[in-house]
Chains A and B, each alone.
Chain A
Amino acid sequence: MSGLLFGAIVFTLACQVTAMALCLLRLVRGPSAQDRVLAMDLICTIAMLVLLVLAIRYGSTMYFDAALLIAVSGFISSAAMAKFLLRGEVIE
């Protein structure tokens, strides 16, 4: 791993962690419940992107499976929460 790639990875990780912190602030502050769901969804997606960047950092393809798992669980949880807010039930 050269210095160029290492610097880019560190910069990207710093940006992603900052974005997650901003989303966490919105999650805590968010006036309505759907704001919190949106922020949680974005946090899940950014966590998935962090795992992809870490895959490049450590040169291992095992991180892809974890990223896919986070994407699936994030989608299911946000869809279930949005459905609950919309209908009062998850499965009718």
Chain B
Amino acid sequence: MSTPLALWIELPVALLLVASGVFTLAAGVGVLRFKSFFMRMHPPALAFSLSAWCVTLATILYFSAREGALSLHAWLIIIFLAMTVPVTTTLLARTELFRRRTRGDAEVPAPLSRMVAVVPPEAAAAEPHDAGSGA
């Protein structure tokens, strides 16, 4: 270990770490306890954004103070998370929608595009009329 850091630099690092731990724990409890999948998609965002930001800021602060120069390696992780998390979240939400529609779940809203899967009965009834008037 190198020279001990000053208290005014260790205090924010410790606070950020504790905050990130609390947020991560909240995300874990939420994922376990929420009822439906769409509710369960929300708590991980806490870990992906708030908790990851807290840990990264603590890391940057600690290593910058320790090496005496700005150390920004950890930004890469935040930037990468900000790019990839929306992709995964959107894909998972579409997966849940698709699989519940194919199962015939009535609670799920109907697809906007007619290309995708299940056509609701009233749209199926309206379609031949439209095609006939068009021709």
A19-B28, A56-B13, A83-B91 in contact; A64/B74 too (CB < 8 A)?
A: yes
Q: CA of A52 to CA of B121 in the docked complex: distance in angstroms?
A: 53
Name B45's closest neighbour in chain A (CB-CB): A42
Binds A, one of B58-66, B106-114, B124-132: B58-66
- Does B14 belong to the interface (CB within 8 Å)? yes
Q: CA of A59 to CA of B62 in the docked complex: distance in angstroms?
A: 9
Contact B20 A49 (CB under 8 A): yes
Q: List 20 A-B contacts (CB under 8 A).
A: A5-B13, A8-B15, A12-B55, A16-B24, A21-B28, A23-B32, A26-B31, A26-B40, A32-B96, A32-B99, A34-B92, A35-B37, A46-B24, A46-B28, A56-B62, A64-B76, A72-B80, A78-B88, A78-B91, A85-B99
Residue ranges of B at the interface with A (Cβ–Cβ < 8 Å): 1-2, 4-5, 7, 10-11, 13-15, 17-18, 20-22, 24-25, 27-29, 31-32, 37, 40-41, 44, 47-48, 51-52, 55-56, 58-59, 62-63, 66, 71, 73-74, 76-77, 80-81, 84, 87-88, 91-92, 94-96, 98-99
